[in-house]
Amino acid sequence: MAATTPNWLRRSGTALGCVLILAWCLLPVVWIISLSFKSQIAITNGSPGFFPASGDFAGWANYRDVWDNDQFRRAIFNSIGISLIATLLSVAIATLAAYAIARLEFRGKKLVLSMALAFAMFPVVSLVGPLFDMWRTIGLYDSWPGLIIPYMSFTLPLAIWTLSAFFREIPWEMEQAAQVDGATSWQAFRRVIVPLAAPGVFTAAILTFFFAWNDFVFGISLTSTENARPIPASLSFFVGSDPFNRPASLLAAGAVISTIPIIVIVLLFQRKIVAGLTSGAVKG
């Protein structure tokens, strides 16, 4: 009979594994926060360690300097507006399209879903050149629609794929029961089906928003001014008094500020995000 592993040893191994994973994942976060509180002179001279020394500590000055920068505030405004519009449009269109795919039987339905997933996984870099020429020709270059449309071209197929799985797991009888009670097809969809698919809708919205907020390739390639340049691309244009010595402390502070909206969203909607990633609404 094989000997069993003691419980305390299993628990210790699990705890050690969790600590190692957390240390590996949080190391870049701790490092960039440390840089954001150091002075530029300390970084230039090579201040070691995570925590700045007393003479190297800049306090909140880096964050104030970044926030007082008009370029940074404009980039934050662009990212919020572009990401929200792309998210709302993608989720609204994907909800209707996914419902039709899940409920209707038509030839080539699996092909449509496969093509949607293939479009979502298409390399972003391969589209930058054609979009650059096209947007300059039709006047969408360096504008909000010039970024919203490419974002939707990647997030919409992924949202359709995600939501169609949720709609398929909702019992068809629930919609029929609502129609028997006098509800129209649109009322049954809006008041019965959509609330039941709320975890999937939240998951699609979060994935869409994250993609739009974190995008760098489209943001730096399809903009030339601060009119529509989002925050990831705008950070790459931050320069100090010396163009050959980038203000690393200010860049770190800007990166931390730009990460705060993502952290807030995750903390506020973590239960719905987990529910959307681990379940599929109601199973019949």
Q: Are residues 54 and 144 in the same domain?
A: no
Inside any domain, residue 190: yes
Q: Are residues 131 and 270 in the same domain?
A: yes
Residues 168 and 98 in one domain: yes
Residue 4 falls inside a structural domain: no
Per the prediction, the chain carries an average pLDDT of 81
Domain that holds residue 22: 14-59
pLDDT given for residue 282 in this prediction: 43
CA distances from 76 to 172, 205, 213, 267 (A): 43, 19, 10, 20
Which pLDDT does position 166 carry in this prediction? Answer: 81
Cα separation of 167 and 197, whole Å?
A: 7
CATH (domain of 164): 1.10.3720.10
Q: Average pLDDT in the 124-129 region?
A: 85
pLDDT confidence bin for 79, thresholds 50/70/90: very high
Same domain, 142 and 202: yes
Question: Does the structure show a pLDDT above 70 at 56?
Answer: no
Q: What's the total number of domains in the chain?
A: 2
Q: Do residues 260 and 122 share a domain? A: yes
Q: Say if residue 155 is in the same domain as residue 45.
A: no
Q: Is residue 108 domain-shared with residue 195, that is, in the same domain?
A: yes
Least Cα distance to 122 among 153, 94, 82, 159 occurs for 153
Q: Are residues 117 and 161 in the same domain?
A: yes
Q: Are 268 and 133 contained in the same domain?
A: yes
Same domain, 80 and 45: no
235 in any annotated domain: yes
Q: Is residue 129 part of a domain?
A: yes
**Same domain? 217 vs 241:** yes
Q: Which one is predicted more confidently, 137 or 45? A: 137
CA pair distance 130, 96, nearest whole angstrom? 29
pTM of the predicted protein model = 0.81
What is residue 281's predicted lDDT score, i.e. its pLDDT? Answer: 42
